[in-house]
Structure 1
Amino acid sequence: MKQVTTDFRALGNEVLSIEQQAIAGLHQYIDESFNRACQAMFDCQGRVIVIGMGKSGHIGGKIAATLASTGTPAFFVHPGEASHGDLGMVTDNDVVIAISNSGETVELLNIIPVIKRLGNTMIAMTGNPQSTLARLAEVHVCIKVDQEACPLGLAPTASTTATLVMGDALAVALLKARGFTADDFALSHPGGSLGKRLLLRLHDIMHTGERVPVTPIDALISEALLEMSRKGLGMTAIVNDDRQLAGIFTDGDLRRILDQRIDVHSTSINTVMTQSCITANADMLAAEALKLMQDRKINGLIVVDEAGHPCGAMNMHDLLQAGVV
């Protein structure tokens, strides 16, 4: 194998430096045009249509996805396909974001007359404020960079990074203006772990009915142990004569009484149970329950209703199975 003498680390750091400078240079373009672009998308009664060719198209697809997942309905349209029917997806209520570093991309310029005829507000993102695309747009957001990280100045590198960052700036500015919340975000991500963490509530995962371990307050410890074994949650709720929660008995409590050599066949559970136990309600977010359990260093929770009756139970294993952990 040929020995490589090139210092790849130095070359990599050089790229990072150039792209960091490109991002830093964007501050000057967060100006009135940026404000007008945000306002146009905020006021949009339709969708935001993002169009770009080549590398700009790849970046445009990500910008559209970010907008869509943060409260601004958006999708990407390839300019080549747009010329062959996909412009039919664009309505006169939509706002169009056209991305081209040069501002002279032929495939984009070819469909501008149709966009103009529909009456769409067009936001151009280019690196050339004097370009044809910039001049035809109602709003121009500049993404100009001093140099590409590519030493040949040919492969879009720093310019695509700048475009992506400016797209994030637009999306997050709109997110905050709309008052978009974590719950709103989760609604568009229900299949992922984030959606589970943000949307899942205890009533979705807790054990209910006959699966809830419950032991009368006057029962023996041995009876409580049998209930714990049957239900397999490592604990049992202790209830009074009105079926209200009076305490809890866990595996940890069992270990402690065994150290004390207490006779489980003759001792009442009410003498060894934990009275001031931590409970939850069925509407509590599973993520909140996880934090509560971690903070209090416990492995399970009894869920009670408004009257204080145990209505559910869950442990860390249930959170693990649900994908919350």
Structure 2
Amino acid sequence: MNNSNALINFARETLEIELKEAQRLLTRLDDNFVRACELVLNCQGKVVVSGIGKSGHIGKKIAASLASTGTPAFFVHPAEALHGDLGMISVDDVVIFISYSGRAKELELILPLLAESNIPVIAMTGGKESPLALGAACTLDISVENEACPMGLAPTSSGVNTLMMGDALAMALMRQRGFNAEDFARSHPGGSLGARLLNRVHHVMRSGDRLPKVEENATVMDAMLELSRTGLGLIAVCDQQHKVVGVFTDGDLRRWLVKGHSLSDSLRPAITRPGYRLPEQWRAGEALEALHKQRISAAPVVNTDGVLVGAINLHDLHQAGIG
């Protein structure tokens, strides 16, 4: 066997073992899991996740997943907890402690203190008869029959199980709370998702002097000059009440001239009616999808009365981080 085949086989064996062990988690979603969810849903404070070693690294990820999906949570290292950080945990909190053996030395001091304050503990452990499991309000079983490590030493399958059980808990809580995409965006305001869902059309549209518009009684020349001035490729055509009655685009201008018409002609017969327009209260992400669906690059923006308040194109949306 050459080196390439050997490496692929080693990797395949690892994945096969981890997948097999992860599959067993499906049979462990029992009353303990329901109890864990109820403790968190009824929690008046925050969820405090703790664990040491590899469990600690995974615990940080679980805490982050909970926090970003509607369950306020943070991570506390067990060693730091014993040297002051235990004061970060209040009587209104719930603690998720991760330890595969359930026999971490720190537990000997931490569990009695939590019990004294009636702070419920959710155990994530493979040691169903361990001190952690016995001292917890409920136990999420992450045990494995085989680690993927050929020596059975490095936490591999057990690490995957821990992460997956944490994800199962976070997603179940998220769905039970009715946490939606807009809620998710509020905890991720700096990313493209936040820009798509939190920004409204009126936040990113052009207005004032940058707004391309002419009245319905204008000439094609007036419209051409306005197209050139604003550079949007589209102008809104309005009546005397400033309501949009149609649009006139670069394409409309070209088609008008190709047919042999004059720039001095009335704009009325050259207008595209009623033209597509965007509501100012739409989410910016909705506006982007609508422009793509209509196969247009720009549109006027109107209020609930159909009055022109702005205009927007794909470039404006992309500049705002929406794309």
The two structures share one fold, judged by TM-score above 0.5: yes
Residues 109 and 133 in structure 1, CA contact (< 8 A), matched pair in contact too:
no
Query: Structure 1 stretch 198-207 or stretch 251-260: which is displaced more?
Result: 251-260
Task: Indicate if the aligned counterparts of 1:98 and 1:108 stay in contact, CA closer than 8 A.
Answer: no
Work out whether 1:296 is the aligned partner of 2:294: yes
Q: RMSD of aligned C-alpha atoms? A: 1.4
Q: For structure 2, which runs of at least 5 residues remain unmatched after alignment?
A: none
Match of 1:324 in 2: 322
The answer for the alignment partner of 1:222 in structure 2 is 221
Other-structure match for 2:144 = 145
The aligned counterpart of 2:90 is 91
Q: 1:310 aligns with which of 292, 303, 308?
A: 308
- What CA deviation, in whole Å up to 9, does each residue of 1:274-303 have, x standing for no partner? 012111111100111111111110101111
Structure 1 residue runs without a partner (length 5+): none
Give the corresponding residue for 1:273: 271
Partner of 2:246: 247
Matched residue of 2:57: which SS?
helix
Q: 3-state SS of the aligned residue for 1:168?
A: helix
Q: Match for 2:154: what amino acid?
A: A
> How far has the Cα of 1:117 moved from its partner?
1.7
SS in 2 for 1:238: strand
Rounded Cα–Cα distance in structure 1 between residues aligned with 2:199 and 2:139: 42
The alignment of Structure 1 onto Structure 2 pairs a total of residues equal to 322
Q: Does 1:199 align with 2:188?
A: no
- TM-score, length-normalised on structure 1? 0.95
Match of 2:133 in 1: 134
List per-residue Cα deviations over 1:16-71 (Å, max 9, x = no partner): 21111121110111001111111111111111100000100011011111111111
Identity %: 48
Q: Which residue of 2 aligns with 1:114?
A: 113
State the secondary structure of the residue aligned to 1:111. Answer: helix
Q: Distance in 2 between matches of 1:109 and 1:251?
A: 76
Q: Distance in 1 between matches of 2:227 and 2:103?
A: 72
Moved over 2 A (4+): 3-7, 107-110, 254-263
In structure 1, distance between residues paired with 2:188 and 2:44: 23
State yes or no: 1:103 paired with 2:116: no
CA distance in 2, matches of 1:193, 1:23: 32
What's the CA shift for 1:256? 2.5
> Where do residues 159-170 of structure 1 align in structure 2 (5 Å cutoff)?
159-170=158-169
Amino acid at match of 1:304: V
* Partner SS for 2:149: coil
Contact 1:79 1:107 in 2 (8 A): yes
Equivalent position of 1:24 in the other structure = 23
SS across alignment from 2:49: strand
1:175 matched to 2:174? The reply is yes
| 3-state SS, counterpart of residue 96 of structure 2 | strand
Counterparts in 2 of 1:259 and 1:61: CA distance versus 1, 3 Å: same
Residue 60 of structure 2: aligned partner:
61
Counterpart AA for 1:307: D
Separation (CA, whole Å) in 2 of partners of 1:314 and 1:217: 20
Partner of 1:76: 75
